[in-house]
Amino acid sequence: MAIERTLSIIKPNAVVKHNIGAIIQRLEAANFKIVATKMIKLNQEQAEGFYAEHKGKPFFDALIDFMLSAPVVVLVLESESAITAYREIMGATNPVDAARGTLRADYGEAHVTFNGVHGSDSPESAAREIAYFFSDNEVNSY
Ligand code: UDP
> In this predicted model, what pLDDT tens digit does every residue of 75-102 receive, in sequence order?
999 999 999 999 999 999 999 999 999 9
Dist. CA 135 → ligand 1 center (Å): 26
- Give me the active site residues, please: 118
Q: What is the pLDDT of residue 1?
A: 81
Atom 2 (ligand 1) nearest CA: 113
Q: Is the CB of 94 under 6 A from ligand 1?
A: no
The mean pLDDT of 14-42, rounded to a whole number, is 98
Fold for the domain defined by 3-134: Alpha-Beta Plaits (3.30.70)
Q: What is the pLDDT of residue 132?
A: 98
Strands (E), 71-124: 72-80, 117-119
Q: What residue spans define the domains of the chain?
A: 3-134
Atom 10 (ligand 1) nearest CA: 113
Atom 19 (ligand 1) nearest CA: 93
What ipTM was reported for this prediction? Answer: 0.98
Binding positions for ATP: 11, 59, 87, 93, 104, 115
